[in-house]
Amino acid sequence: MSAVTNKEIFEEFTRRIREDGASDEELMEEYGGMPIYVPSWNLNGRNALIIQDYKDGMTPKELKFKYNLSLGRIYEIIKDVREPTLL
C-alpha cells in the first residue's frame, strides 16, 4: 500500500466540498485536527503548463520569458520530456 500524499488529501478534501456538498460538521468529523496542505500552484499547475507549452513547440528560451523564470529552472521542469542530446 502506498502512502497518501498531501496533494491527494487536499484533492479529496476539496472534492468532498464541491461534489458531495459536505457540511462543516462532516468535514470536522472526517478531517478535524488534520493539517490540510494546500499544494503550490508553481509545483502543479504552472509546471504542467510549461511542459505542455514545451511539447507544443515553445523553446526553453521562449518559456523563460513567458514564465519569468531562469533558463536553468525551465530545463529542470522539462527535463523528463526533453529528448536526449548527443554530447
CA separation for the pair 78, 24 (Å, rounded): 40
Residues 57, 30 share a domain: no
Residues 56, 25 share a domain: no
Residue 16 lies in a domain: yes
Segment 4-41, tens digit of pLDDT: 787 888 888 889 899 989 898 998 998 888 888 887 77
Domain that holds residue 15: 1-39
CA separation for the pair 12, 19 (Å, rounded): 10
Q: How many domains does the chain have?
A: 2
Residues 32, 50 share a domain: no
> 0.95 exceeded by the pTM?
no
Residue 7 lies in a domain: yes
pLDDT of 85: 64
Residue 85 lies in a domain: no
Residue 64 lies in a domain: yes
Segment 34-79, tens digit of pLDDT: 888 887 777 778 999 999 999 999 999 999 999 999 999 999 999 9
Residue 6 lies in a domain: yes
